[in-house]
Every structure is written in structure tokens, then in C-alpha cells.
């Protein structure tokens, strides 16, 4: 059987697009939640049970979502993916790379290690340390942005603009991820999303937020922009630094024109981007997975 599992708790538009793309290549794909998978350790059985697959393993899995939860729950979900990999089932994106990108601290560290431009960032546990860092930044004329370590879609992000805002400086599950705010070029708020598949940047768009958060999920307007060499190179290097098969890279152009990488997404959405170009992104992803990891 030519089966692909798409791990997601919310298939939606992206799930449908992927299903169609895999069908075009002769593969049947179905949705499964990591919350319904099981590990059975016994002498003669396949140790991983994915609902919908009877005592067999799929040709590959496409990870469209990892549910949140307690440390034990998330560790279990990641273990399922690691174990599939050990059983020679291709996991797309690979699980180590997903782990690094869902952790914003690890992403910042790896971007810095790869000598790629990324904002000055602090990750601390103690509230007093967080307050001291933020006060110091404010004194130097910088705003500070405070993000959940495992956040996405702009949720839970705060901007500290003045000393009285320090009240809003809250940790996320006990950890402060603080970053210097980068003022973007131009009069409006905007950033850039570049999509990379197999080390090739395929498309770029500008996202114009209603305010300083430029996430599409928060209503940012998407506009096509030219995918320049500089953007393509930067996004590709970021994807390589994080060891991703494909990625959505968030980039800000600062007031002096320099590009800075804000985030690398290992489970990016592409509906907004597709509204700005005529590329079937799901098909490119399915082609890449099948061609490089199955055939
Ligand atoms: N250091 C920063 N300076 C300026 N804007 C930022 C900065 N960090 C994040 N933003 C804005 O907030 C948005 C969401 O931040 P991001 O780090 O991508 O988190 P999320 O995972 O929630 O998308 C970015 O797309 C950008 O518009
Ligand atoms: Mg982002």
C-alpha cells in the first residue's frame, strides 16, 4: 500500500491540499493525530500503532502539527516521530529539526552559530534578570519583545515600550524569551515570509500587519514581492542551519535596509503565500517528499 500519514489535529485547507497533491502522485494519505497513536512494546508486533493503519507502517509521515500538552505528553508525541524514523519511515520535516524550531531559544542559538543575522535575544529564568535586561534596553532606546518559547501565530507576544509596561513582562511557562524590537523599513508595519523547499527558495511575500505583529493568522495583508538573491540566500542558509527539508522563514528589513531573521517555521502555513503567487505549494512539498525520501 502506498500510504502517507499526515499528522495533524486540524486538517483544514492545508490538509486537503496535501491529500490532493499526494493523490496526484498515486499515494493515499490520511490524517491522524499524534494523541491517538500508541507505542506497544511486545515480542512480535510493530511497536507503533497509528489509527487507520492495521499492523503496518506508512511509506512516510508528513508532520502538519504537534499537539501541545504536558512535558510527558509532548515527549511522547516526539518519541512516536523519533521511533518512526528509527523504523526507517521518513518523517518530513525531520523530528530533530522540528524540535529545534519549535523552541525559539534553540532557533536563535543555531542562527547565531551559523553567523546569520538575528536580533539580540536573551532567554532567562529569573524575573529580576528579565526586568534588568528590559530596563537596560529601554534606557538605550530599544523596545523589547517578549515571546512564549513555544509560541506560534503571534500568540502571547508582548512589546515592552516603557518602564510602566514592565508589569506586562510575564514569563511563558517559567521562561522569559526577550528580544530587541527591530523597527522595520517604511511607514507601515511589515515583514517578509520566504518559503524554501529542498534548499530552493520558491516564493516570497510581504506581510503587512494591522500593527507590529505581522502574522497572517492575526489578519496581516499578504502582498507579492520579488524574491531577490539576497532574500533567497538568507532564507536558504537559515533552512540549512536548522536542518529542515522545507521551511517558512520570517525576515524583517530594518530601517537601514539590513535583513534580520526573526523566525524559522518547520510547520509553516502556505495559504497566505499562495494567494500572492501561482505556485501549488502542496504539490511541490509532496513531490519533494516522494522524490527524495521514497522513490
Ligand atoms: N524582534 C522583533 N522585532 C520586530 N518585530 C518582531 C520581532 N519579533 C517578532 N516580531 C513580529 O512578531 C511576529 C511574530 O513573531 P515570531 O517570532 O515570528 O513568532 P510566531 O511564532 O508567533 O510567529 C513577526 O512576524 C514580526 O512581525
Ligand atoms: Mg512567525
Q: Over 90: is that where the pLDDT of 167 sits?
A: no
Q: Given this model, what pLDDT does residue 88 score?
A: 96
How do residues 104-127 score in pLDDT, each as one tens digit? 999 999 999 999 999 999 999 999
Return the CATH number at 150.
Answer: 3.30.1490
H-run or E-run covering 194: strand 191-197
Q: Could you say which ligand is closest to the alpha carbon of residue 218?
A: 1
Residues 156 and 229 in one domain: no
Ligand 2 geometric centre to CA of 263 (Å) = 6
Q: Read off the CATH number of the domain in which 266 is found.
A: 3.30.470.20
For 204-227, how does the pLDDT look when each residue is reduced to its tens digit (9 = 90+)?
A: 999 999 999 999 999 999 999 999
**Protein residue with least CA distance to atom 10, ligand 1:** 213
Ligand 2 centroid – CA 248 distance (Å): 8
Q: What is the pLDDT of residue 268?
A: 96
Ligand 1 mutation target, pool 179, 215, 218, 247, most atoms within 8 A of CB: 215
Residues 190 and 279 in one domain: yes
Instruction: Please indicate, yes or no, if residue 276 is contained in any of the structural domains.
Output: yes
Split at pLDDT 50, 70, 90, the class of 72 is very high
Q: What does the pLDDT read at residue 187?
A: 84
Question: Is 164 within the bounds of a domain?
Answer: yes
- Of 131, 153, 180, the one marking the end of a domain is 180
Count the domains in the chain.
3
pTM: 0.95
The per-residue pLDDT for 8 is 98
- Answer yes or no: is pLDDT of 295 > 90: no
Specify the pLDDT at position 262. Answer: 97
Tell me if 107 is assigned to some domain. no
Our CA angle for 271, 283, 280, nearest 5°, is 45
> Is the confidence at residue 44, as pLDDT, over 90?
no
Q: Which ligand is nearest to the CA of 220?
A: 1
Residue with cell 501565530: 153
**Strand ranges for 131-190 from DSSP E:** 144-147, 158-160, 176-180
**What pLDDT band is residue 55 in, cutting at 50, 70 and 90?**
confident
Note whether 287 and 189 are same-domain residues: yes
**Nine cell digits for residue 264:** 524559522
pLDDT tens-digit series, residues 255-287 = 999 999 999 999 999 999 999 999 999 999 999
CA of 230 to the centre of ligand 2 (A): 20
Q: Are residues 282 and 205 in the same domain?
A: yes
Pocket test for ligand 1, best of 158, 191, 209 (most atoms within 8 A of CB): 191
> Residue-wise over 176-195: b if at least 16 C-beta within 10 A, else e?
bbbbbbbebeeeebbbbbbb
Nearest CA to ligand 1 atom 25: 214
Stretch 51-73: mean pLDDT, rounded?
Answer: 93
Question: Is any atom of ligand 1 closer than 6 Å to the C-beta of 250?
Answer: yes
Q: Which domain holds residue 84?
A: 3-92
Confirm or reject: Cβ of 263 under 6 Å from ligand 1.
yes
262 CA distance to ligand 1 middle (Å) = 6
Backbone angles phi, psi at 115, to 5 degrees: 60, 35
* Helices (H), ranges, 44-203: 71-86, 95-102, 104-113, 127-139
Residue 7 inside a domain? The answer is yes
106 inside domain: no
In angstroms, the CA 45 to CA 40 distance is 8
Q: What is the tens place of the pLDDT at every residue in 15-32?
A: 999 999 999 999 999 999
CA distances from 203 to 54, 70, 174 (A): 39, 36, 37
166-185 mean pLDDT: 92
pLDDT of residue 197: 98
Query: Per-residue confidence at 45, pLDDT binned at 50, 70, 90?
Result: confident
pLDDT surpassing 80 at residue 153: yes
Q: Give yes or no: residues 159 and 82 share one domain.
A: no
Atom of ligand 1 nearest to the CA of 182: 3
Amino acid at each position: 500500500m502506498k500510504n502517507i500519514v499526515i499528522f495533524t489535529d486540524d486538517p483544514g485547507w492545508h490538509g486537503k491540499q496535501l491529500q490532493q497533491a499526494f493523490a496526484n502522485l498515486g499515494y493515499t494519505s490520511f490524517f491522524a493525530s499524534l494523541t491517538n497513536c500508541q507505542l506497544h512494546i511486545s515480542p512480535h508486533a510493530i511497536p507503533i500503532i497509528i489509527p487507520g493503519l492495521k499492523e503496518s507502517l506508512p511509506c512516510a509521515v508528513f508532520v502538519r502539527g504537534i499537539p501541545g500538552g504536558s512535558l510527558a505528553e509532548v515527549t511522547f508525541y516526539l518519541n512516536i516521530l523519533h521511533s518512526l524514523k528509527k523504523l526507517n519511515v521518513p518523517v518530513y520535516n525531520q523530528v530533530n529539526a522540528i524540535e529545534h524550531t519549535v523552541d525559539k531559544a534553540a532557533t536563535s542559538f543555531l542562527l547565531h552559530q551559523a553567523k546569520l543575522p538575528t536580533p539580540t535575544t536573551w532567554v532567562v529564568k529569573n524575573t529580576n534578570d528579565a526586568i534588568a535586561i528590559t530596563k537596560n534596553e529601554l534606557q538605550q532606546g530599544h523596545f523589547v519583545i517578549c515571546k512564549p518559547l513555544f509560541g506560534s501565530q503571534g500568540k502571547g507576544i508582548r512589546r515592552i515600550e516603557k518602564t510602566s509596561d514592565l508589569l506586562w513582562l510575564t514569563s511563558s511557562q517559567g521562561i522569559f524569551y526577550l528580544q530587541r524590537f527591530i523597527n522595520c523599513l517604511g511607514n507601515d508595519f511589515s515583514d517578509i515570509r520566504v518559503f524554501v523547499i529542498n534548499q530552493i527558495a520558491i516564493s516570497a511575500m510581504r506581510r503587512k500587519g494591522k500593527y507590529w505583529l505581522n502574522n497572517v493568522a492575526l489578519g496581516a495583508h499578504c502582498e507579492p514581492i520579488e524574491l531577490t538573491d539576497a532574500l533567497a540566500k538568507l532564507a536558504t542558509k537559515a533552512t540549512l542551519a536548522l536542518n529542515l527539508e522545507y521551511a517558512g522563514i520570517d525576515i524583517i528589513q530594518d530601517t537601514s535596509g539590513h535583513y534580520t531573521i526573526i523566525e524559522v517555521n518547520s510547520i509553516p502555513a502556505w495559504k497566505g503565500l499562495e494567494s500572492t503567487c501561482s505556485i501549488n505549494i502542496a504539490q511541490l512539498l509532496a513531490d519533494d517528499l516522494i522524490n527524495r525520501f521514497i522513490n
